[in-house]
Amino acid sequence: MIHYYPNKEINKRKWDECISSSVNGRIYAYSWYLDCVADQWAALVFGNYQAVFPLPYRTKWGLKYVYQPVFTQQLGLFSKIKITPSLVEDFIKNIPAQFKYINLNLNQHNRLYTKSFRVESKQNIEMDLLADYSILRSNYSTNLKRNLKKATEAKLTIFENLKPDAVIRLFRENKENQSGYFSPADYTRLLRLIYKALQLGHAEVWGAYTSENNLCCGAIFLRSHKRLTFLFSGTDKDARKNAALPFMLNAFIEANANKELVFDFEGSNYSSLARFYLGFGGQTISYAQIHILQSAAILRPVLKSYLFFRAKRRLV
């Protein structure tokens, strides 16, 4: 039977054990991760934590709505038992009516056949690292190989123990004047998240330096469930000129090649970025984003207007 639990009633030990043992576990669903990135979160739980479904939510104008927290690409149902479309739909049907709107990314193992609510397909790009590095590199695009040669000629160097603050600062200094990125609260969440992940052995922070020993590129990687996730990066004008980001991603792939791991580029639905990631020989994987209105008819226009405004700011 599926039960709803507010956050204070969730058994976090059993929750995290379920995420660790799930056939489709992801780092985003650990309780400590959700505590860092979500405003608030509750949960649906099947049986004795055999399957779980996190419900991150916000409250606005007295209305609760489920949303996709920043720095989490895929949530949805995580389970130690077989996942079927009917099981996924049962969980979704059990989301309490107190949540007037649901805008949530499920994970790639949560398939749906329903037509009772809107489902939008999103894409992610992954690559298997089981092969030897030389084989992985042979699948690189011509453009990527050209960029790696440019970075080598620029005499870039890699540092594997950078502080997260440096990556975030590099990003902010080069993106701050462009709209549609992150709020100040988002940066605080990210910093808290990465230090927690580092403490637990789930994160690595790499940097690339110019020949003048200036940091020009930084990246944050997560490690969990035999999956390496490219979570966040920052670059400056020198990095773009010298191809520092592809150089660093290549170095990270080389360091982890010939292992039973998947490298997750965590995106992208933007064609130019997807083309860049696919240049490493990755494959496109789809996952579902669900949109459900559970509000009373009289409240729907107001809620839609608010959510449209939030979506434009890319904070929902």
Distance CA 241, CA 230 (A): 21
> Residue 116: CB partners within 8 Å, gap ≥ 6?
none
Q: Does position 81 have pLDDT exceeding 50, yes or no?
A: yes
Residue 297 to residue 14: CA distance in whole angstroms: 38
Q: Tens digit of pLDDT for each residue in 226-284? A: 999 999 999 999 999 999 999 999 999 999 999 999 999 998 888 889 999 999 999 99
Which token pair is 295? 């509000």
Count CB-CB contacts under 10 A for residue 194: 25
**Local confidence band at 115 (pLDDT 50, 70, 90 cut-offs):** confident
What architecture is the 130-260 domain classified under in CATH?
3-Layer(aba) Sandwich (3.40)
CA dihedral 49, 124, 110, 183 (to 10 degrees): 60
Whether the predicted pLDDT of 114 surpasses 90: no
Per CATH, domain 2-123+286-313 is 3.40.630:
yes
Q: Which residue intervals of the chain are DSSP H helices?
A: 12-21, 31-37, 85-93, 133-138, 142-153, 164-175, 184-199, 237-242, 244-256, 271-278, 300-313
Tell me if 2-123+286-313 shares its fold with 130-260. Answer: yes
> Dihedral through CA 274, CA 280, CA 286, CA 292, nearest 10?
-40
The DSSP code for 286 is: E
Distance CA 181, CA 200 (A): 28
Q: Give dist(CA 2, CA 261) in Å, integer.
A: 33
- Among residues 150, 138, 161, 125, the alpha carbon closest in space to that of 245 is found at 150
Query: Which tokens go with 290?
Result: 């669900």
Lowest mean pLDDT among 204-208, 215-219, 264-268: 264-268
The better pLDDT of the pair 99, 177 is held by 99
Question: Distance between terminal CA atoms of the chain?
Answer: 30
Tell me the pLDDT tens digit for each residue of 48-68: 999 999 999 999 888 999 999
| Confidence label for 32 from pLDDT (cuts 50, 70 and 90) | very high
Identify the pLDDT of residue 315.
Answer: 36
Across the range 207-230, mean pLDDT stands at 98
pLDDT for residue 148: 98
**Side-chain half-sphere of 273: how many Cα atoms within 13 Å?**
9
Mean pLDDT of the chain: 93
pLDDT digits (tens, 9 = 90+) for 165-200: 999 999 999 975 555 679 999 999 999 999 999 999
Domain range list for the chain? 2-123+286-313, 130-260
β-pairing, 40-46 vs 51-60, is: antiparallel
Residue 175's pLDDT is 77
